[in-house]
Amino acid sequence: PYHKILVAYDGSEHGKQALAAALDLVDHDMANRIIVLHVVATHRGVEPMLEAGSMMAASDTEAFEDNDAAAVAQEIAAITKDFKDIVEVMMRVGTPRREIVHVAEAHECDLIVMGSRGLGAVMSMLGSVSSAVLAESEVPVLVMR
């Protein structure tokens, strides 16, 4: 089984699917622990990609996804109430793509589960956060679509 899964949760339908998929793995004894991470984005509008080797575009729309962090935390708690012993909820302030990759590596997660898209208004196959995490993460990524 996976030792520790990081679920990147933005409150979107895809984020909910990602969390459900991780809980499903636990139900099937294929995962031991879950960190559910929500990042409250700090930047506004365009943010340059600083990481070398990344092929991602520079724009991001997290700034328009003004979620109430407390409401998101409550939502996560409600969804994961039957899994309290194995779920840790983590809230961080920063750049979502960077925090997701950093937390997964710092906490020695062996899988990241996230959605293909999120709350962003622009319709594309893959959102900017999932694209960037796929490009930059050393940890394997499961993208729910």
CB 109 within 8 Å of CB 4: yes
Q: Which of Mg ion, ligand ATP, none binds 112 (CB below 5-8 Å, type-dependent)?
A: none
**Does 41 participate in binding ligand ATP (rule CB under 6 A)?**
yes
- Cα separation, 5 vs 94, in Å, equals 20
Kindly tell me which residue out of 5, 14, 31, 75 binds ligand ATP, with binding defined by CB under 6 A.
Answer: 14
Q: Which is nearer to Mg ion, 22 or 119 (CB)?
A: 119
Compute the distance between CA of residue 37 and CA of residue 88 in angstroms, rounded to an integer: 9
- Helix, strand or coil, per DSSP, at residue 113: strand
Among candidate residues 117, 127, 132, 130, the one with its CA nearest the CA of residue 53: 132
What is the binding site for Mg ion (CB under 5 A)?
Answer: 60, 62, 118, 120, 127-129
Interface contacts to ligand ATP, rule CB under 6 A: 8-10, 12, 14-15, 18, 37-39, 41, 60-62, 96, 114-115, 117-120, 122, 127-130
